[in-house]
Amino acid sequence: MTPRPTRVSHPRRERDTAVQLAVLSDRLEAAERRQRQLQNTIAAIGREAGVSVGCLCGHCEESYTLIKNGDMYCPRCGHRRSL
Ligand SMILES: [Zn+2]
């Protein structure tokens, strides 16, 4: 293991960190926007198919449940219960 230099300020590193933070911030913003767009699309697909989107599946937590004809089910793991 090589000892790290113990300088007080790291201007280069701080600049790199600021750039990385800006990149991550942009990516987060883009991901959140994409998530909103997909939520809108999913809600629209549900309306057209006569299905509403329920809560997160408590069984697998990998998908939101779908509600149709008084039945709530998870399209991912198949867990089902009637309302
Ligand atoms: Zn599930």
Structure tokens at 38: 């997909």
Residue ranges making up the domain that contains 61: 51-83
Whether 16 is in a domain gets the answer no
Structure tokens at 8: 């007080």
Write the pLDDT tens digit of every residue in 24-61. 999 999 999 999 999 999 999 999 999 999 999 999 99
Structure tokens at 56: 């997160």
Q: How many domains does the chain have?
A: 2
Q: Domain check: are 63 and 82 in the same one?
A: yes
The model's confidence at residue 13, banded by pLDDT at 50, 70 and 90, is confident
Distance of CA 67 from the midpoint of ligand 1 (Å): 13
Note the pTM of the prediction, 2 decimals.
0.66
Whether 36 is in a domain gets the answer yes
Distance of CA 48 from the midpoint of ligand 1 (Å): 23
Structure tokens at 43: 């809600």
* Average pLDDT of the chain, as a whole number: 90
Q: Domain check: are 83 and 59 in the same one?
A: yes
Q: Domain check: are 61 and 82 in the same one?
A: yes
Q: Domain check: are 75 and 58 in the same one?
A: yes
Q: Domain check: are 38 and 56 in the same one?
A: no
Q: For residue 71, which phi and psi values (nearest 5 degrees)?
A: -110, 135
Distance of CA 26 from the midpoint of ligand 1 (Å): 31
Structure tokens at 49: 């198919």
Distance of CA 50 from the midpoint of ligand 1 (Å): 20
